[in-house]
Structure 1
Amino acid sequence: MAEHMLEMAGALVRVRDGEIEVLTDPKVRWCPLRSGLYGHGVESRKTVESVLRGHMEELGMYGPHRVLELSDRPVSFGASEMIADAMRSGLVDAAVVVCEGAGTVVAARPEVVAALGAHMTGLVRTEPIEEVQSGLRERGCILLDDRGTIDQVEGYRRALAAGFERIVVTITGKRAFEAEEIRKLASASACGQAGEGPVIFSVHNLDVSEDQAEVLAEACDVVWGCASREVREVVGKRAKLQIGISIPVYALTDRGKRLVLNRALAFDESLVMFRATLPYGPEEKLPEMMD
């Protein structure tokens, strides 16, 4: 019986043997992205459970029949969509991501990255699902172990050891320290990437402190604003590029900009670009937190 802990809309959720238990109330009152994707208004334990149940039914998440390849791009400017497009364009060789039932995963195929990240929220910890692990290994992925360990620093080390050079690593804002450790590892590595190091994406950044936001601004290439005022005020002001308004995505480096703009190039719908002081976005379009 595998147990998984995750965060969704700020609520702590446990999934055990296919059963969902929302342990705490959501911290987000209303999210424009979730509202647009799932049709919910005010968030509650019931909406969190409903959305997660939909993910489990659609992609087999948290179970042995999990979808491990996907061509769809459900989020306009999501991390997995951005990474998958960068792989297809030859800008990225491998990505260090996470998957329930497997933990940290080094993946080199865009359709696998797309499947793992399509509806992934803040995975806190996970237990092994043998079918997921074997399916990922059959698709050329590298796992840290059979226990479902999540350690993005070690994942980056494994990616380097496997010979990958252009690597994207995803972290979460609450583990901002991993970005600093990855930068140190890249600098110290004799087999690094011609001095460039990895591209670091920070996702699931709700509830980060101001100090953590400072670390993200210093060490990351692309940071998702989520519903975090700290990220908008600290990271947004230092960004070179912002894409999206309601859930802004901030590129802090030229390499981050390249991957964001590459996603824009592959985006099928219309976009507008203009100069602005960052962060940009009226308050009424941003997510609302619970009182």
Structure 2
Amino acid sequence: MVEDKHVIETLGKVKVVIENGEITEVGSSDMKYCPMFHAMHKVDELNEEFIRKNINFRIKDFGMCTPDRVIEMDDLVTVGISEILKTNMENGSIDCVVGACDGAGTVIMTNPRVVQGVGGRVSGLISTTPIPEVIKNLEEKDSIVLNPETAELNQLEGLKIALSKGYKNIAITVIPSPMIKELREYPLDDDVNVYIFVAHTTGVNAEEAEMLFEYGDIVTACASKEVSRYADEHQPYYYGTKVPIFCATEDGKRFLDNRLEKINKPLSTKDYPRDKSDSPHELI
């Protein structure tokens, strides 16, 4: 039997393993409170019971890590990475997105609703194995799966495919790793732009946080102590108080403001010191 095993990190830095549609492992985290989950689910403590309940909901609701995976969705929250990307694909600012999907690995996407569906409710994808039904559905929506045989996660190789297809404005979603520097330094033609969106930053150290802002365009705060510290020190533009989204570049600010303008929200701000009255804790 072909292995079916998917490893994600969610709700802080909690490792969750899903095999054959069932949760087989749930780790622990020092983060016990998230304002987003408190607002959505009225939960005061992110304990193992809630984590299992939440992951099981994702499995049943949109088939996460199963052959029933829904790959197209409408906006889920007002402002998240997938919503920012969807809006900027719709307005023509971004041609394609190199992202990651459970059951498929790295995927090059050109359909805004697929970008939303793939990224909207999944946390940090650490590893995954191929699910033929998911790969087939993605390909039918004009997506390119980097390696259908292995579901490899490799955003640099995904970028190379996007370039080979002639895309000029390429967005890449990525979790913190040294590959971010490689993505930024990859040689490009003068008419090609690469934009890096960094998510799932919880747990990065000070050196990594600095690297994210040096090479990324958008950096999410998540429950990261060091991303929060770096932002307070360098004061980039941002949006949100509970779990802010930071703009590391002018391009990042442009993309974020495009989304905010579409939904009639105030544009990104440099209002420091930031309101931290309802932040995740403990930060990691």
Are 1:214 and 1:235, in contact at CA under 8 Å, matched by a contact in 2? no
Partner of 1:206: 202
**Contact kept in structure 2, 1:6 and 1:123, CA below 8 Å:** yes
Which residue of the other structure, out of 258, 261, 272, is the alignment partner of 1:277?
272
Deviation at 1:36, TM superposition (A): 1.7
Once the two structures are superposed, what CA deviation does each residue of 1:248-267 show, in whole Å capped at 9, x if it has no partner? 10002111011000110122
- 1:286 pairs with 2:279: yes
Deviates more, 1:48-57 or 1:203-212: 48-57
Which residues in structure 2 correspond to 1:167-178 (within 5 Å)?
167-173=170-176, 175=177, 177-178=178-179
What is the CA–CA distance in structure 1 between the aligned matches of 2:207 and 2:123, rounded to whole Å?
Answer: 22
SS in 1 for 2:86: helix
What whole-Å deviation, never above 9, does each CA across 1:94-147 have from its counterpart, x for those lacking one?
001100000001101100001001101011000010000011111111111121
- Which residue of 142, 145, 148 corresponds with 2:147? 145
| Matched AA of 1:13 | V
Q: Which position in structure 2 is the counterpart of 1:80?
A: 82
CA distance in 2, matches of 1:113, 1:124: 18
* Residue from 14, 28, 32 that aligns with 1:29: 32
Q: Aligned with 1:21: secondary structure?
A: strand
Aligned mates of 1:103, 1:112 — CA distance in 2: 14
Amino acid of the structure 2 residue aligned with 1:108: T
Which of 16, 19, 22 is matched with 1:16 structurally?
Answer: 19
Measured in 1, the distance between the counterparts of 2:181 and 2:41 equals 35
The 1-side partners of 2:266 and 2:238 are apart by 13
User: Is the CA contact (8 Å cut-off) linking 1:96 and 1:170 kept in structure 2?
Assistant: yes
SS in 1 for 2:32: strand
Q: Does residue 227 of structure 2 align to residue 231 of structure 1?
A: yes
Given that 1:165 and 1:193 are in contact with CA atoms closer than 8 Å, whether structure 2 keeps it comes out as no
Question: Tell me, which stretches of 5 or more residues in structure 1 are unaligned?
Answer: none
Match of 1:113 among 112, 115, 125: 115
2:103 partner SS? coil
Q: Is the 8 A contact 1:8 1:26 kept in 2?
A: no
1:221 and 2:214 aligned: no
For residues 39 and 65 of structure 1, what CA distance do their matches in structure 2 show?
Answer: 28
Which amino acid is 2:33 matched to?
A: W
Q: Partner amino acid for 1:178?
A: M
> CA distance change for structure 1 residues 25 and 164 in 2, over 3 Å: closer, same or farther?
same
Q: Closer, same or farther in 2 for the Cα pair 1:243/1:290, shift >3 Å?
A: closer
Q: Residue 255 of structure 1: which of 231, 251, 256 is its match?
A: 251
* Match runs of 1:43-62 below 5 Å: 43-62=46-65
Distance 1:255 1:49, change over 3 A: same
Structure 1 counterpart of 2:101, from 99, 111, 116: 99
3-state SS, counterpart of residue 142 of structure 2: coil
CA distance in 2, matches of 1:20, 1:162: 38
8 Å Cα contact 1:221-1:255 kept in structure 2: yes
| Alignment partner, residue 242 of structure 1 | 238
How many equivalent residue pairs?
A: 280
Greater displacement, 248-257 / 18-27:
18-27
Q: Which moved more, 1:146-155 or 1:228-237?
A: 228-237
Q: Which residue does the alignment assign to 1:131?
A: 133
The answer on whether the counterparts of 1:22 and 1:45 sit within 8 Å (CA) in structure 2 is: no
Separation in 1, partners of 2:283, 2:224: 13
Deviation string 1:197-248 (CA, Å, 9 cap, x unpaired) is: 3110100000001111011010001100011110011145335311001101
Q: CA deviation at 1:23?
A: 3.0
User: What secondary structure, in the 3-state scheme, does the structure 2 residue paired with 1:74 have?
Assistant: coil
- Structure 2: how far apart are the matches of 1:148 and 1:56? 19
Unmatched 5+ stretches in structure 2:
none
How far, CA to CA, are the matches of 1:91 and 1:239 in structure 2?
26
Contact 1:2 1:17 in 2 (8 A): yes
What is the one-letter code of the residue matched to 2:275? G
Spell out, residue by residue over 1:144-201, the C-alpha distance to the aligned partner (whole angstroms, 9 max, x if none): 112110011111111111111111101112x1x111101111xx23xx352x631101
CA gap 1:161/1:286 in 2 versus in 1, 3 angstroms? same
